[in-house]
Structure 1
C-alpha cells in the first residue's frame, strides 16, 4: 500500500484508476467514448503498445456493449466515423454488430456506411468471418444497395463483388446490367450479354479497350478510355504497357486517391509532363482530396516518397521515380495542398495565442493500420499553422525541441520536420513544464499524441499551468486506439480539457465546434 501511495505522489496521478499500456497510472473512459475513439482511430493490426489480438478483443467487446445499450447512438457514431472520420474497416465491423441488436436501425444505416463495392466486399467477408450469417435484414439491405448503386461504372469496377452479393441474396431484376455482372460467376446466354453491351456503352467500351491493348492500338484505346471515362483499375488489371498516351488517358479518369498513389508511375511513363502539369495542379486540390475522403497526411507520405523513394515508400505503387524537374514540380503541387486543406476546414477566426505540441516519441513512428501517427501529427500541425501563422510549434518527447520548427517554416516544412524527427519516450508534461518555466501564455494548446505517457504526469502540470493562466484551454488530438485517458472525466470541465479523436481534416472543424464555440 505504501508503494502505491508513493507512486501516486511521485507521478502526480492522484485518484488514478488504472495503468496505461506504457505502465504509468491513468484513468478509464466510458464505453461510449471508447467506442467513438476506436471508430475514429482503431486498427485490428499490431500497434506499438498492443497486439492485433488485443486490439480486436477491445473493439469487439466495446462495440457489443454500446450497440446493446444505445443502438441509435452507435449507428450515428458509425456514420460519423465513415463520413467525417474517413474510416472504413471499423465502421463496417460496427455495422455488422449493430445488426445483431437493432436490425431496423442497421438497415437505415447500411447505405450511409457501405459506399462502394469495396465496402460491400468487406462487409460480406467480415460477416462470414464473424459467423453472423445473412439473415432477412441483411439480405434486404444488400438488395437495396445493389438496386440503387449498380450503374454501368460500378458494374465494371465492382463486378466480382456485386456478383457475390447477388448470389448471396438471390437478388433478381430484369435488367441486362445484372446479367453482365452475374456472368462473372456463372454462364449467361450470349444474347443477354449482347443486350448488356448494347444498352451500356461503358461495359462494351471496356471490353473493346482490352482488345485494343492486346493489338497495341494504343491511340484508339486512349481515346476510348477518356471518352467513356472507363474504370482505370479494370484497365490496368488487364495489363497496360508503359505507353505515355495510355497512362495519360488513365490519369485523366483516375479518382483522387488512385491518382496520388500512381504519381510515381505517371511521372516515369511520361504521362505527367510540362503539358499535363497544369491539369494535375487543377485536379489535385484540397476540395478534391476532401471529397475523396483522403487523409491529409497522405499528402506528406506521397511528397516524401517522391522526394526520397528509398526512405519514404508509403502508399506508392512504384518507387523508381526519376529525379527530374517534373518530379520537383509534382512535389510542389502536393506541398501547396496542405495549407489549403486547413483553410478549407476553417469557418471562423482562430483568434488568440496558440501553441501546437506534436508528440515525436518513438511510439508515434509505429503504424496503426496503414497510417503512421507521426505523419498524422505532422499534417495536423501543418494545417493549424496554415490557419494560425503565428502558432508556436513545440515538438516533444522526453524534452521540448523549441528550435526545431520556426515561424518561417511553411505548413509542409512543419509537417516534414515532425515526420523526420526521431524521438524517445512520451513525457506529456514536458511542453507544459516548458511553458510554465518560460512563462509562455497561451489561450489554446494543442497536443497531438498517442497519450501513452510515462513521465511525471500531464494532468498535474496542466493544473499548475491553469493556476497561472486560468483562461487557457487544452486540446488533445488523440491519434491512438488505446483505452485510457491521462486525466479523469471530471477534469474536462474543471480544467478546460477537450479531447478529439481522429485523423481526418474534420478534426479542425470539431475544434471550432467544441472548443472555439464553447
Structure 2
C-alpha cells in the first residue's frame, strides 16, 4: 500500500514549496516585486517594527523599486498617497523616481505632494541622501518651485507649521521666483527678512497684528502659529469652532484643558461637526484613528463629544462590504501584534498597535456581516465571546484584551478543516509572521496544507491575507483562490469585496494600482 503520509492527494493544484523565510525565520513565500512594493507602500513608515527596523524597510524599498518599471513605482506612490493615506512612503518613492530617466516623476509629483507637510517631507528625504543624492537636483527643484508658485497663501501658511526642514529652509534651497509683489513680500516675511509690509497678504497682516496685541481679532491661520501667545478661553473657543475636522479630532483634550467645553453650546457644536458624514469622508480619517481618539479623550471631554466619535466611527466604516456566504474572520492576537502599527521611533511612536487595527477591522466586518465567524489566533485559536449587537468599539476592545503568545496562522484553518466547516471566504488580518507552525524548508507552509484540506470540502472557497506590516512575505502565495493585500485604509475593503464576488481575480489589488492614471 502506498504511504499516504508522503504521497498526499490534494484537490486542485499541487501545493507550492516555500521559497524564502519570514522575519521570524520560518518558511514562507516571497511576494512578487510588485506585490511587495505595494505592501511596503501602504504599510511601511520607515520606523522600527516588531521584526525589522526602518533601515531594512528602506533597503527593501530601494531594491524593489529597481525591479519594476518607473511607471509602476509612480502609480504605487500615487495610490499610497491618495488611497492609502500614507505620508513618508509616497515621498520616498518620488525621490527614487527623481533620479530615473522617466517623465513619470513630473506626473506623480503634484498627485503626491498636495500639502506643505508632504512638500517638506519630500525635501527632507532628498536632503537625507536616502535616494542616492543630498541635493534636490534640477527636476525636483523645479517641482518644488512650481508647488510654491501655485500654492495659495493659506497653503503656504500651513506649510510653515513644522521643522526639519522648515518652510524657510525650503525657500532658501529652491529660490522661488515670486510672480507678484505680494508673494515677494510674503517670502521675505517667511524668511525673516526686510519686506514691504503694505504688500503682505491681509491674513499675514492680521497675524502680525494679533502677535503684537491679543485684543485684536483672531486671525484665520493654523492655530499652531498662535499657541506661543497668551490665548484666552474665548480665543480657544474660536479656534475650535473654526478649526478643520482633523484638527478637532486631534485636540479635544487641549480644548478641554483650555475651558472650551465650559462655554454653553460649544460641545454640541463640535459634536455635530465630528459626526458630519461629509467632513468625515473629506478628512480621509483612518477608522483606527477614531478609535484611539475615543480611547484617549480624558474625563473633561463631555459625553456628547465622546459619543460623536463613536458616531463618526460608524460612518467611517460605512463602506465595509457585506459579503455573501459563510465568512470567517481571523484576527491575529499574538504577541508581535502588540507593536505599534506605524513602528517605533523615539519620541514619535504611535499608541495605536497592530492588534488595535486588526481588532477594529474584525469588529467592523462583523458589524456588516453579523453571521460571520470570528476565530482569533495566537499559538492556537483563542475563544472570545463577541456580541454582534455591541458597538464596533466594544467588540474591538474585547479582542484587544486577549493579545499575547506566538503566531500560528494555520490554527484557525486547522480548526475549520477538522470540523469540515462550510467556508466561502476566510479573511486573515495579521502581520503574517507565522512561526509556531513552521514546516521544513521547501515544503508547503502549514497554512497551505490546512487550506488544501478546507478546499476538499469547499472547492470554491477563497482566502484573503490582509497584511498590516511591511514584511513582503506570505504564508499563502497569490493564486486564483488566494488574495494577498496590504494596508489599513478603507481602500482594502473594495478590493476584498471584488475578489470575494469574483469580479476581480487574486491580482486585483495590483491591477487596481496599475489602473491609476498619471
TM-score, normalised relative to structure 1: 0.84
1:73-106 CA distances to partner (integer Å, 9 max, x unpaired)? 1111110000000001011001000111145210
Work out which of the residue numbers 270, 289, 296 in structure 1 matches 2:287.
296
Secondary structure, aligned partner of 2:103: helix
Secondary structure, aligned partner of 2:365: helix
Aligned to 1:508: 493
Alignment CA distance shift 1:57-1:31 (3 Å): same
Q: Does 1:96 align with 2:100?
A: no
Q: Does 1:265 align with 2:254?
A: yes
**Shift of residue 405 of structure 1?**
2.0
Asked if 2 retains the 8 angstrom alpha-carbon contact of 1:362 and 1:424, the reply is yes
Q: Does 1:194 align with 2:198?
A: yes
**Shift of residue 186 of structure 1?**
4.8
Secondary structure, aligned partner of 1:433: helix
What is the distance in 1 between the residues matched to 2:325 and 2:317? Answer: 17
Asked if 2 retains the 8 angstrom alpha-carbon contact of 1:498 and 1:515, the reply is no
Aligned to 1:231: 222
**Shift of residue 440 of structure 1?**
3.2
What is the distance in 1 between the residues matched to 2:27 and 2:19? Answer: 7
Work out which of the residue numbers 48, 53, 56 in structure 1 matches 2:55.
53
**Shift of residue 349 of structure 1?**
4.9
Alignment CA distance shift 1:210-1:385 (3 Å): farther
Asked if 2 retains the 8 angstrom alpha-carbon contact of 1:342 and 1:508, the reply is no
Secondary structure, aligned partner of 1:390: coil
Q: Does 1:340 align with 2:315?
A: yes
1:19-98 aligned at under 5 Å gives the runs 19-66=21-68, 70-98=69-97
Alignment CA distance shift 1:329-1:162 (3 Å): same
Asked if 2 retains the 8 angstrom alpha-carbon contact of 1:338 and 1:382, the reply is no
Q: Does 1:277 align with 2:262?
A: no
Whose helix proportion is higher, 1 or 2? 1
Q: Does 1:183 align with 2:184?
A: no
Work out which of the residue numbers 443, 447, 451 in structure 2 matches 1:462.
451
**Shift of residue 132 of structure 1?**
4.3
| Structure 1 stretch displaced more, 420-429 or 393-402 | 393-402
Asked if 2 retains the 8 angstrom alpha-carbon contact of 1:341 and 1:383, the reply is no
Q: Does 1:207 align with 2:213?
A: no
Secondary structure, aligned partner of 1:499: strand
Work out which of the residue numbers 422, 445, 450 in structure 1 matches 2:426.
445
Secondary structure, aligned partner of 1:27: strand
Aligned to 1:330: 305
Aligned to 1:166: 171
**Shift of residue 59 of structure 1?**
2.0
Alignment gaps of 5+ in structure 2? 7-13, 344-349, 438-445, 505-518
What is the distance in 1 between the residues matched to 2:246 and 2:498? Answer: 28
What is the distance in 1 between the residues matched to 2:67 and 2:82? Answer: 23
Secondary structure, aligned partner of 2:235: helix
**Shift of residue 128 of structure 1?**
1.0
Alignment CA distance shift 1:472-1:339 (3 Å): farther
What is the distance in 1 between the residues matched to 2:374 and 2:391? Answer: 12
What is the distance in 2 between the residues matched to 1:75 and 1:335? Answer: 36
Asked if 2 retains the 8 angstrom alpha-carbon contact of 1:475 and 1:498, the reply is yes
What is the distance in 2 between the residues matched to 1:157 and 1:337? Answer: 25
Q: Does 1:400 align with 2:381?
A: yes
Asked if 2 retains the 8 angstrom alpha-carbon contact of 1:162 and 1:181, the reply is no
Aligned to 2:156: 155
1:411-448 CA distances to partner (integer Å, 9 max, x unpaired)? 11122222333221111111112223344323222110
Q: Does 1:380 align with 2:369?
A: no
**Shift of residue 14 of structure 1?**
5.8
Alignment CA distance shift 1:445-1:240 (3 Å): farther
The Cα RMSD (Å) is 2.5
Secondary structure, aligned partner of 2:240: helix
Secondary structure, aligned partner of 2:464: strand
Alignment gaps of 5+ in structure 1? 7-11, 307-320
**Shift of residue 461 of structure 1?**
0.8
Instruction: Give the number of equivalent residue pairs.
Output: 467
What is the distance in 2 between the residues matched to 1:271 and 1:330? Answer: 12
Aligned to 2:243: 254
**Shift of residue 201 of structure 1?**
2.2
Asked if 1 retains the 8 angstrom alpha-carbon contact of 2:268 and 2:305, the reply is no
Q: State the structure with bigger RCO (CA 8 A, min sep 6), 1 or 2.
A: 2
What is the distance in 1 between the residues matched to 2:224 and 2:83? Answer: 26
Alignment CA distance shift 1:270-1:352 (3 Å): farther
Asked if 1 retains the 8 angstrom alpha-carbon contact of 2:420 and 2:454, the reply is no
Alignment CA distance shift 1:178-1:355 (3 Å): farther
| Structure 1 stretch displaced more, 120-129 or 468-477 | 468-477
Asked if 1 retains the 8 angstrom alpha-carbon contact of 2:268 and 2:304, the reply is no
1:55-80 CA distances to partner (integer Å, 9 max, x unpaired)? 222122222333xxx11111111100
**Shift of residue 281 of structure 1?**
2.5
